[in-house]
Chain A
Amino acid sequence: MLKRLINFVLGYINVEIEGYYIEKFINMCKRKEIFLWGIRKQKVTVLKAKIAKIDIEQAKSIAQENQCIIKIKNQKGFPGLWKRYKKRKIFIISFFLLLGMVYLSSKFIWNIEIQGTSKINPDEIVKEAEDSGLKVGMLKCKVDAESFINKLRMERTDISWLGVEIKGTNAIIKVVEAEEKPEMFDENDYCNIIANKSGEITKIYAHSGTPLVKEGDVVEKGDVLIAGWMEGNFTGKQYMNGNGVVKAKIKYTDSEKIDKKEIKRERTGKKENKISIKFNNFKINFYKRLSKFEKYDTIYAEKKLQLLPNYYLPISFIENTNFEIYETEKINDYSSAKLQGEEVIHNKMDKLIHGEIIDKSTDVIEYDDYYKITVMYEVIEKIGTKEKFNI
């Protein structure tokens, strides 16, 4: 392989050797360290071989001694190529220009990739990076990753580690998200049970500690429900790990506006594709007409051109897909607005409520062009959480 490469760079010649003493010629060449390869007998007196370009003159003189004739068939390798393309100046100039452009473009960053995010939106980090100087289209040597990392680490608490790696023209920002771990309580710690929501107490059991509220009391968020101490007649005040179950009736209310006239947009199923090319910030559209649809939604999909796995070019293809839509006007009357509003609120509340719903009431107020729907839930929920205290 290496030998082939060297032969290609230095150039070699396909020759035809004719004569009666060809074996003698080959042996003479071998003795003088001129090496032939690809030797093939064509006729009884004619031989085809390959010879390095630098050895041809010496081989010619050896052939003369042995009464052989060397005919040069064709030249191969880089010198031959060079000779052929030397006259085509524009071709050579544009070839080197292309090489130079590829080299120059490799000095810039053309893509930012975020790895390791699950909760954090990658766009946020891209935006932060752009603000602190790491953006698409900047010189690789001017990237100040250190200050960006420090800045982001200071600002955000949900990132536990951050690294910037530049591979080719791709800047990879690796993020390790910090996990919010719940506060652990030791059995020996002193703690109170406090209310995390306001409501009316329906049940309270204290396993350990002293209950400070009764059933039927209305508590605010943050009130102590079970205190982490006990007072005996003889033992005095003894601190402990407060524990117990507190249930309360909590009211949740939410309201939603439903318009009387509602415009619904639906896709008809027809779509069209349009392609445009983007050079960094300069966009060229490959279509001249506007969309044939009257009303449509457009979805952009951008794909960056890659030369090698980590070698992005500042050229990207954008595929615009237009989906035709039709709009219908829907008039909501009282009952349908109520149903719709209840559904919206129910979906919202589902995430908040963890207990048992015991009552639900809906209130609808009609305005000029909308209905206001207010829904109130009454829920029985556990409201106690532990809070440490020091004596």
Chain B
Amino acid sequence: MSKFDKLFEIPQELVSEIPKVTILGFEKLLLENYKYILEYQDVFIRVKMKFGIINIYGVNLEMIEMTKDDLIIMGTVESIEFEKL
């Protein structure tokens, strides 16, 4: 974080590439600052983030929205796993 960002109190997740995972009601998942998708099945998604990999297990997983930094996954999420590299 630079001095400028600290001075103006800019939120950390906006300026850095720290991954952020938000789960909404076990069926909607928002991954911010992802890099790329390693594997995609409808029961298992593996996403590469900056500091590691996130494994998502579930049923009928669907990537409803994909932008440069954000990924929204819908479906019944059963478990989430983090692999720190």
Contacts and interface: CB of A to CB of B under 8 A. Distances in A.
A27 B36 contact: yes
A384 to B, nearest CB: 83
A187 to B, nearest CB: 72
Interface stretch (B9-17, B24-32, B50-58, B64-72): B64-72
Query: Chain B binding site: helix, strand, loop or mixed by DSSP?
Result: strand
Interface string A43-62: 01001000000000000000
A23 B61 CA distance: 15
Nearest to B43: A41
B62 A40 contact: yes
B41 A27 contact: no
A5 B59 CA distance: 30
Contacts of B67: 35
Interface in A11-61: 22-23, 26-27, 30, 33, 35-41, 44, 47
Nearest to A27: B36
Query: Range of interface residues on chain B?
Result: 10 to 19
A279 to B, nearest CB: 50
A27 B38 CA distance: 9
A33 B69 CA distance: 11
B68 A41 contact: no
Contact of A26 (B37, B41, B62, B68): B37
Contacts of A41: 40-42, 61
Nearest to A43: B42
Nearest to A40: B62
Interface of B: 36-42, 61-68
Interface of A: 22-23, 26-27, 30, 33, 35-41, 44, 47
26 contacts: A22-B40, A23-B36, A23-B39, A23-B40, A26-B36, A26-B37, A26-B40, A27-B36, A27-B37, A30-B68, A35-B67, A36-B63, A36-B66, A37-B63, A37-B66, A38-B62, A39-B40, A39-B62, A39-B63, A39-B64, A39-B66, A40-B62, A41-B40, A41-B42, A44-B41, A47-B40
